[in-house]
């Protein structure tokens, strides 16, 4: 039965391109993520994000396992989401795809491709796992070069409500003989038609207590 359902690699890639082109971003949403860095200076930071279009409010709510009594707030009027699946996913005009095989991920059929960038970009996808139902990427393995340091990692995605959102991201690199690793985990997505304009107002500085 499974063999009867399998598509040829070129059919999968055609459906993948169609699915990416049809993908919609949420108009406004709130989520949380945890950033953990392990290496010479380990740290763990918890964020709560409010995002609408290119506007973002970033609240740091925890540090190294401790909740902050008052979040540190930054507001960005123009922000690019570096983990947007549409921005990260490889395209035929920039990559060559070779079929590795099909398999199961949980109960879902998946198609796996090795991916080769045309040229030498600083960021390149090297392997992609495509969901056999939505034909969107479930996993992207990548290689990135920054300041002469080459790192590798993986970004995973899943359907949340009706959107295709990042779930986790990992990175590792050897920096001057020291292995540095990073991990991001996203959670608590909430989607809205819009957020109040005050969400993206610059935060007021805390009031100082009177002396004496």
Flag whether the pTM goes above 0.85: yes
pLDDT digits (tens, 9 = 90+) for 75-105: 999 998 999 999 999 999 999 999 999 999 8
Compute the distance between CA of residue 178 and CA of residue 20 in angstroms, rounded to an integer: 38
Confidence of residue 120 (pLDDT cuts 50, 70, 90): confident
Mean pLDDT of the chain: 92
Which domains does the chain possess?
2-189 (2.50.20)
Contact 125, 137 (CB under 8 A): no
pLDDT digits (tens, 9 = 90+) for 155-179: 999 999 999 999 999 999 988 888 8
Residue whose token pair is 């991920």:
105
Contact 56, 49 (CB under 8 A): yes
pLDDT for 1 equals: 39
The two beta strands, 43-52 and 28-38, are antiparallel
Compute the distance between CA of residue 58 and CA of residue 161 in angstroms, rounded to an integer: 22
**Predicted confidence (pLDDT) at residue 29 exceeds the cutoff of 90:** yes
pLDDT digits (tens, 9 = 90+) for 2-11: 444 789 999 9
Q: What average pLDDT does range 58-74 have in this prediction?
A: 94
Q: Which two tokens stand for residue 101?
A: 């095989």
């Amino acid at each position: 039965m499974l063999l009867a359902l399998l598509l040829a690699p070129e059919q999968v890639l055609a459906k993948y391109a169609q699915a990416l082109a049809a993908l919609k971003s949420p108009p406004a949403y709130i989520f949380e993520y945890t950033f953990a860095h392990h290496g010479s200076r380990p740290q763990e930071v918890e964020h709560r994000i409010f995002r609408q279009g290119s506007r973002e409010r970033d609240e740091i709510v925890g540090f190294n396992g401790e909740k902050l009594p008052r979040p540190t707030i930054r507001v960005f009027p123009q922000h690019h989401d570096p983990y947007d699946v549409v921005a990260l996913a490889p395209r035929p005009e920039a990559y060559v795809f070779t079929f590795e095989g099909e398999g199961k991920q949980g109960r879902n059929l998946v198609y796996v491709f090795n991916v080769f960038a045309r040229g030498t970009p600083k960021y390149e996808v090297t392997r992609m796992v495509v969901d056999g139902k939505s034909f969107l990427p479930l996993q992207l393995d990548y290689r990135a070069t920054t300041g002469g340091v080459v790192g590798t990692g993986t970004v995973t995605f899943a359907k949340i409500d009706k959107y295709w959102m990042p779930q986790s991201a990992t990175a590792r690199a050897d920096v001057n003989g020291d292995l540095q690793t990073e991990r991001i985990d996203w959670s608590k997505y909430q989607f809205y038609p819009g957020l109040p304009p005050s969400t993206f107002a610059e935060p007021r500085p805390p009031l100082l207590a009177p002396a004496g």
